[in-house]
């Protein structure tokens, strides 16, 4: 968007208040989520609590914020009142493509602002945590990145997507710590799940967290960090590439982004963000946990936030920046 909300310094910004009201972990939010899943939403939304007020006001605030940003950027593009090197941000690309109506562009921006922030931050934090707990894998990742540099625009995304171990680490992080540990779908018609009849309109609660860690699917080491399970070596050539199953019996076993027509629309964007974040950290820094013995658990309500965040100690790996693209 190329818009600075200054949220790192202004914690009273309305956007921050809406984020914290919904995503900041608390016992009250856990109870609210359970009530919301077990009772009609219309009834739950009438409970006079602060969270409900933000749930009602939040969509309207985000819509107005995104609409004003879209209109401002569209006017800048039409009047050519924008620098040529400021045309590659997501909003400008969507408007210039002319493939989306104004409301569709607004809806896309709402999606990236409302659910594309906390989820990627959580996944990135967990990736750092897992690499700190597995230094030999971290060393292999650094070697892979060093061997395949430099990373220059515009080939960064393509090059990072071609690195087997980097992508395997991201896949395994998303398996163990899906951004949305639990989600809900509504039956569009009368159907059946195994021997259970599911009438139209029924809410079906699914847990990517539980399925991604099921021993029946992933074996006895389902809870272990095993990125090598996502790597396959071709017989004869010895070439290593990323598989789509991670050692499970089929590609649908990992449901961090769900599957089918209701798959997360931001999956590819989220994966690209995570790849860039992990690569940038491993390229530029030696990092370790501030407390190497700390065992982290997730504390999120709607997302799998690490409890208390991930605190790292960083040291630059190189005196000069030889990987300027990332």
Q: Annotated binding residues for heme, as ranges?
A: 264
What does the alpha-carbon distance between residue 228 and residue 274 come to, in Å, rounded to a whole number?
A: 18
Which residues line the annotated binding site? 264
Strands (E), the chain: 183-186, 191-193, 196-198, 203-206, 231-233, 240-242, 285-289, 312-316
Bridging pattern class, strands 203-206 and 285-289? unpaired
What residues contact 240, with CB distance under 8 A and at least 6 apart?
164, 231, 232, 233, 234
Burial environment of residue 213 by CB neighbours within 10 A (0 to 12, 13 to 18, 19 or more): middle
Quote the tokens at residue 29. 């939010």
79, 99, 112, 131, 300 from 118: Cα distances, Å:
34, 28, 10, 20, 10
Q: How many helices (H) and strands (E) does the chain have?
A: 13, 8
67 class by beta-carbon count within 10 Å (0-12 exposed, 13-18 middle, 19+ buried): middle
Tokens of 120: 């990627």
Those residues with Cβ within 8 angstroms of residue 305's Cβ, 6 or more apart along the chain or in another chain? 23, 25, 118, 122, 125, 298, 299
Closest CA relative to residue 317, chosen from 305, 326, 309, 308: 326
Could you tell me how far CA 100 lies from the centroid of its own chain? 24
- For residues 109 and 55, give the distance between their C-alpha atoms in angstroms, rounded to a whole number: 18
């Amino acid at each position: 968007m190329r818009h600075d909300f200054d949220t790192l310094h202004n914690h009273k910004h309305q956007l921050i208040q809406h984020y914290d009201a919904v995503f900041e972990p608390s016992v009250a939010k856990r109870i609210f989520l359970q009530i919301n899943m077990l009772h009609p939403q219309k009834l739950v939304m009438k409970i006079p609590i602060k969270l409900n007020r933000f749930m009602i006001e939040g969509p309207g605030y985000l819509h107005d914020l995104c609409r004003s940003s879209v209109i401002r950027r569209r006017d800048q593009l039409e009047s050519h009142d924008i620098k040529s090197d400021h045309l590659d941000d997501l909003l400008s690309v969507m408007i210039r493509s002319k493939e989306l109506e104004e409301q569709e562009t607004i809806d896309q921006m709402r999606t990236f602002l409302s659910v594309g922030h906390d989820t990627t931050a959580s996944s990135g934090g967990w990736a750092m945590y897992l690499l700190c707990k597995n230094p030999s894998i971290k060393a292999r990742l650094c070697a892979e990145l060093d061997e395949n540099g430099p990373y220059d625009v515009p080939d960064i995304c393509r090059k990072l997507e071609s690195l087997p171990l980097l992508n395997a680490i991201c896949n395994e992080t998303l398996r163990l710590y899906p951004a949305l540990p639990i989600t809900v779908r509504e039956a569009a018609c009368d159907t059946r799940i195994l021997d259970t009849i599911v009438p139209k309109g029924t809410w079906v609660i699914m847990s990517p967290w539980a399925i991604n860690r099921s021993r029946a699917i992933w074996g006895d080491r389902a809870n272990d960090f095993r990125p090598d399970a996502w790597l396959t070596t071709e017989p004869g050539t010895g070439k290593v590439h990323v598989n789509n199953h991670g050692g499970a019996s089929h590609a649908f076993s990992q449901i961090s982004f769900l599957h089918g027509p209701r798959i997360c629309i931001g999956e590819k964007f989220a994966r690209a963000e995570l790849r860039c974040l992990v690569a940038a950290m491993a390229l530029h820094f030696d990092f370790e946990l501030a407390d190497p013995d700390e065992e982290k658990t997730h504390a999120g309500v709607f997302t799998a936030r690490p409890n208390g965040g991930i605190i790292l100690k960083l040291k630059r790996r190189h005196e000069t920046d030889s990987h300027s693209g990332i």
